[in-house]
Amino acid sequence: MHEILMEEKLLSKNDGIAALNRAALRGRGVFSINMVSSPGAGKTSIIERSIPFLKDSVRGLAVIEGDIETDLDSMRVKRHGVPVRQITTGRACHLDAHMISHEIPWVCGIEGVRLLIIENVGNLVCPAEFDLGADLTVCVLGCAEGDDKPLKYPAIFNKSDMLLINKTDLVPYTGFNVERAVDRALKINPCLKVFKTSCSTGEGIGAWCACLSGLVSNVVK
């Protein structure tokens, strides 16, 4: 019983900070997304492949990278000329609103920024519970992972607004059934907007970026 109460109190505090994060970003005209996935699904590669499209359509872009250790992903993003901050969580398996709150002044201080991409720590479990204050949650499912992931980790698919089925170029080698994965995800969350992407071939990257740019334009005036 005490463990349940402690968890509720922790999440309640996190939600309060997340609301402040969201208000601060919106107040500066910044639309934000929380990108989640298992390790190795291709979040960083999607960001890298999306940058040329988003620079043309959104223009002002910033990225926060979350990892347990190293700044390897932030260095990958930095080479594309995009402002980026690295959060290393130590042993924590997810980002939380308090961590993001420390980066809000940095984001709001970037001239002309309109879109913030937060790449969460690779994990399909804990990120489902912790609101960061983002406007949109994007789940990435790699085709090397298995098309049963929506059934095994329903909470994150239920919370997400978009689903990117990534690494579609690997389908012939993995036995991954794309349509079955999409069907399972939509049964959990019928409102999911689904894109099929490959960072190797470029499939779907333009369509995903066009959709994201449209959301930014509609929300951030």
- Predicted pLDDT at 91: 87
Stretch 140-159: mean pLDDT: 97
Contact 85, 139 (CB under 8 A): no
- Predicted pLDDT at 1: 45
In terms of residue numbers, what domain contains 41?
A: 2-219
**Tally of structural domains, the chain:** 1
pLDDT exceeds 90 at position 3: no
Q: Residue 184 belongs to a domain with what CATH number?
A: 3.40.50.300
221 band by pLDDT with thresholds 50, 70 and 90: low
More confident residue, 20 or 220: 20
Q: For residue range 109-133, what is the model confidence (pLDDT) as tens digits?
A: 999 999 999 999 999 999 999 999 9
- Predicted pLDDT at 59: 84
User: What CA–CA distance (Å, rounded) separates 167 from 147?
Assistant: 13
DSSP annotation of 203 reads T
> Facing residues of 193 across strands?
162
The percentage of the chain sitting over the pLDDT mark of 90, rounded to a whole number, equals 91
- Predicted pLDDT at 153: 98
Q: For residue range 157-201, what is the model confidence (pLDDT) as tens digits?
A: 999 999 999 999 999 999 999 999 999 999 999 999 999 999 999
Q: For residue range 20-68, what is the model confidence (pLDDT) as tens digits?
A: 999 999 999 999 999 999 999 999 999 999 999 999 999 899 999 999 9
Could you tell me where the beta strands, DSSP code E, fall in 77-192?
A: 84-88, 115-119, 136-142, 162-166
- Predicted pLDDT at 177: 98
